[in-house]
Amino acid sequence: MSEPWTFGVEPLAQTIELADLLRRVAGLALAVEEAQPALDRLVADLRSAEADLAAVAPSDPRPRVGPAASSGQRVYLDHSRDVGAFNPAFPTYSIAVAGDRASGTVEFPLVFEGPPGLVHGGVLATFFDCVIQHHNCDLGVSGKTASLTVEYRRPTPIGVPLHFEVDRAEEDRWIVSRARLVHADEELCAASARAVRGERSALPEVSPRRPGS
């Protein structure tokens, strides 16, 4: 197997801790039915943190990638795998890769609810794109997603452990993947994806985190 494909820098430990905490707290906030003092305190603390972070964050929101990168831009975090570990807008999952086949588990928390008690369909599409590219990157041959088709067969429940499988094949300049999400031997949804095979040598340089950051 080739060296795993990475592109970007590792997130801060604080960022990882924050992502998981934000998902859990947001889920609790969505579940309460009356105004809570704890939410008032949280909003005040977040406003204060927003002001403090804005004072030290780069002024340019573009990532420091490529030859035109400047010191005023932000660092680019590696999105090849486990994006949900540092970004609370993405789901988290566990995955085991064995060549062209991968499998794992996922459980969607309340923040990803669409219909009552069910996962939003757009979140499922994001999930499939994440695990398919994670699989590709672990095998060392990845590329940009060219197409992603999701077939919704059964409603996907919130807060229930689910199993997924991914199979892939390389066809000329394409990486073709097929994934499925299962609960109790019942297929809930499936996805087909095609990605253009990328070349590591063609990747632009990603500027490292600045010393002391």
Q: Is residue 142 part of a domain?
A: yes
HEC readout, 177-194: EEEEEEECCEEEEEEEEE
Q: Is residue 65 part of a domain?
A: yes
Q: Is residue 40 part of a domain?
A: yes
- Looking at the structure of the chain, the number of domains it has is 1
Kindly tell me if the per-residue pLDDT of 143 is higher than 80. yes
What is the residue-averaged pLDDT of the chain? 95
* pLDDT tens, position by position, 146-158: 999 999 999 999 9
Q: Which residues constitute the domain of residue 83?
A: 13-202
**Count of CA atoms in the C-beta half-sphere (13 A) of 172:** 1
Q: Is residue 29 part of a domain?
A: yes
Query: b/e string for 105-127 if b means 16 or more Cβ within 10 A?
Result: ebebbbbbbeeeebbbeebbbbb
Q: Is residue 22 a contact partner of residue 85, using CB atoms and an 8 Å limit?
A: no
Q: Is residue 6 part of a domain?
A: no
pLDDT above 90 covers a percentage of the chain that reads 84
Write the CATH number for 155: 3.10.129.10
* pLDDT tens, position by position, 70-127: 889 999 999 999 999 999 999 999 999 999 999 999 999 999 999 999 999 999 999 9
pLDDT band at 1 (very low <50, low <70, confident <90, very high): low
Q: Is residue 33 part of a domain?
A: yes
